[in-house]
């Protein structure tokens, strides 16, 4: 009997890092999938990590900051080919250190208006109205 293939889901955490009314985005490096797209810093949750621990680690590795991970603002799903991603967006308003591009090619602080004009990963593009709504209420 044919068995149905088990779907593959990848859990991803990202930070909505806020300063005044701007949010921090980073441009994905050349050698990665989705290169040249502007994303919210973050990455995959490793085994034995809580989502908050994973995001704290990613923000340390990618930006060199020690961040306080606050509320879960939004959760979304997206499918890239055969793989599903479950993406969790956390609010980050406080951190120590100055964000530096250790992983991304560039970082920038962008207004919600300008966020709409940037090339974003499909998963973010799709959720943009909800992301903007979540950030507006800050
Ligand atoms: P790797 O090299 O296997 O660790 O994977 P990367 O570096 O391509 O991906 P990583 O660790 O940033 O994982 C995030 C995955 O989620 C990646 O496939 C891209 C996708 N993604 C979609 N939207 C976003 C976003 O806003 N931020 C981040 N960090 N990833 C996003």
* Mean local confidence (pLDDT), 71-98: 96
In terms of C-beta density within 10 A (0-12 exposed, 13-18 middle, 19 or more buried), how is residue 22 classed?
middle
Query: pTM of the predicted model, to two decimals?
Result: 0.93
Residue 101 has pLDDT above 70, yes or no: yes
The number of the ligand 1 atom at minimal distance from the alpha carbon of 39 is 26
Residue 6: pLDDT band by 50, 70, 90 thresholds?
confident
Distance CA 55, CA 45 (A): 8
Q: How far is the CA of 100 from the centre of ligand 1 (A)?
A: 18
Residue 51 CA to ligand 1 centre (angstroms):
14
* Residue pointed to by tokens 């930070």: 15
Tell me how far apart the alpha carbons of residues 99 and 62 are, in angstroms, rounded to a whole number.
Answer: 9
Selected residue with higher pLDDT from 64 and 4: 64
> What structural domains and CATH numbers belong to the chain?
8-136 (3.90.79.10)
pLDDT (tens digit per residue) in 9-61: 999 999 999 999 999 999 999 888 888 999 999 999 999 999 999 999 999 99
Give the chain's mean pLDDT: 94
Out of 44, 57, 90, 92, mutate this one to test ligand 1's pocket (max ligand atoms within 8 Å of CB): namely 44
User: From the CA of 18, how far away is ligand 1's center (Å)?
Assistant: 20
pLDDT at 1: 63
Name, in order, each residue with C-beta under 8 angstroms of 89's C-beta and a sequence gap of 6 or more: 14, 15, 16, 40, 72, 73, 74, 75, 76, 131, 134
């Amino acid at each position: 009997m044919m068995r149905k293939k088990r779907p593959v889901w990848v859990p991803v955490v990202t930070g909505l890092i806020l300063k005044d009314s701007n949010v921090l985005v980073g441009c994905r490096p050349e050698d990665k999938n989705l290169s040249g797209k502007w994303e919210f810093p973050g990455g995959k949750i490793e085994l034995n990590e809580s989502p908050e621990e994973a995001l704290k680690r990613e923000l340390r590795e990618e930006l060199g900051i020690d961040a306080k991970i606050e509320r879960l603002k939004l959760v979304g799903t997206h499918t890239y080919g055969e793989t599903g991603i479950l993406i969790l967006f956390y609010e980050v308003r406080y951190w120590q250190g100055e964000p530096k591009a250790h992983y991304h090619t560039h970082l920038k602080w962008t207004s919600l208006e300008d966020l709409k004009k940037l090339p974003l990963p499909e998963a973010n593009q799709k959720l943009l109205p909800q992301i903007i709504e979540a950030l507006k209420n800050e």
